[in-house]
Amino acid sequence: MIDFSLPEDIRLLVETVRKFVETELQPLEDIVDRSGIVPEDILKRVKTAAQQLGLFAMNMPIEVGGGGLSCVEHCLVEEQLGRTSDALIRRVFGQVYPMLMACKGEQVERYLLPTVKGDLICAMAITEPGAGSDAASISTTARLEGGEWIIDGTKHFISDGDVADYVIVLAVTDREKRARGGITLFLVDKQTAGFSVARTQPMMGHRGYNQAELVFDNCRVSANSVLGDVGGGFQLIMKSVSQIRLAHIGARAVGMAQRALDIMRLHAASRVQFGKPIGDFQMVQKLIADSATELFGVRMMVLNAAWEIDQGNDARHKVSMVKVAASEMQGRVVDRAIQVLGGMGYTKELPLERMYRDARVTRIYDGTSEIHRMLIAREILKNGAKF
């Protein structure tokens, strides 16, 4: 028998996060979306409140100051975070990348612990103008010269690249080996000579934080700036990316879709046309039923893939399935919610308009739907369907 009940401490944590999101963050969404920033005075207040409740860097191990959640627990929490905007999630709960656990020596005190504590902001610099879903084809290089690494190249669409205290940079260190031992991760401080923010790139959605283009021009960093092992960068990224995709896209998509469904349900029950609630009309019921059915299916997919990761299993093909299913479900459910609410759903008076814009990019970043479908098919053709 499979027991789907939650331990009491996790149930209480999920409930705490849900209430925090609803009472502290959702009222701020319109301010952030309209201004494009999270006001410093407001940020300080809500971030401090989140930290006091133990809601910062929940994905990181307890021994470094994080919440110590398992992958399943993390996804349950991230579902609740998905009910608000990404800008607020980043600033209030922390965007702490799991590959930082590869920090060693002085890197632990300089980067890992302050980031988990919330004193430093980190950005992940992988994507380039010529390398998006195919991270192995990056052109940014790093060569060792006189005990220093010299980094040259350009990164773009880097979330928080303009405000980060340091960036984790993926660079080629051996052109022949590339993904097979020739790509390395580096920790680069923002004040490092040769490192600059060329521009920020305005986006359709996800307002409140920027996507930046970063330039590395003869950027010199010490040998101690290597994160993990020389040549081990691609493997380290791939090891960490499954949980990131699962939580930040899969679980958050479930949260956003659930919020849209709740809005749809309440409106359908209260909006009266032709003498009765529109929820009595079968065509509206279909929109609600289809949304609930898809949402339930993706929620189960997320938790199953998270369980696989907690068991130490290779869940990459399942995570790819979640990436496709969650991002596309999210867009459909928000679109249906706007349809049910009609003209009001299209206005900026309700959150659906923002959610619609925010949802669109999830089919693109962290690997497009088309790329993930290719990976899924390759796995099935090679090893058969293992679900």
Predicted local confidence at residue 116, as pLDDT: 96
The residue among 379, 378, 377, 362 whose CA lies nearest residue 324 is 362
Taking residues 289-300, what's their average pLDDT?
Answer: 98
The answer on pLDDT for 133 being more than 80 is no
Taking residues 303-331, what's their average pLDDT?
Answer: 95
pLDDT band at 384 (very low <50, low <70, confident <90, very high): confident
CA–CA separation, 205 vs 278, rounded Å?
30
DSSP alpha helix (H) spans, 195-281: 233-245, 252-270
Taking residues 213-227, what's their average pLDDT?
Answer: 97
Domains of the chain: 8-96 (1.10.540.10), 122-227 (2.40.110.10), 235-383 (1.20.140.10)
DSSP 131: B
The residue among 112, 97, 86 whose CA lies nearest residue 208 is 86
Predicted local confidence at residue 106, as pLDDT: 96
pLDDT band at 1 (very low <50, low <70, confident <90, very high): low
Predicted local confidence at residue 353, as pLDDT: 97
pLDDT band at 155 (very low <50, low <70, confident <90, very high): very high
Return contacts of 21-29, CB within 8 angstroms, 24+ apart: 21/80, 21/81, 21/83, 21/84, 22/83, 24/49, 24/50, 24/92, 25/84, 25/85, 25/88, 25/92, 26/83, 26/84, 26/351, 28/88, 29/84, 29/85, 29/88, 29/351, 29/354
> In the numeric block, which tokens belong to residue 378?
């390759």
- What pTM, to 2 d.p., does this model score? 0.94
CA–CA separation, 310 vs 367, rounded Å?
23
Predicted local confidence at residue 238, as pLDDT: 85
Taking residues 318-324, what's their average pLDDT?
Answer: 96
CA–CA separation, 185 vs 124, rounded Å?
10
The residue among 353, 326, 328 whose CA lies nearest residue 339 is 353
pLDDT band at 178 (very low <50, low <70, confident <90, very high): confident
H or E segment and range at residue 142: strand 141-145
The residue among 362, 327, 302 whose CA lies nearest residue 73 is 302
Quick check: 207 and 87 in contact, CB under 8 A? Answer: yes
Taking residues 119-134, what's their average pLDDT?
Answer: 88
| Cβ atoms within 10 Å, residue 360 | 17
* Angle (CA) 324 100 251, round 5°: 25
**pLDDT per residue as tens digits for the range 60-96:** 999 999 999 999 999 999 999 999 999 999 999 998 9
**pLDDT per residue as tens digits for the range 224-278:** 999 999 999 999 998 888 889 999 999 999 999 999 999 999 999 999 999 999 9
pLDDT band at 383 (very low <50, low <70, confident <90, very high): confident
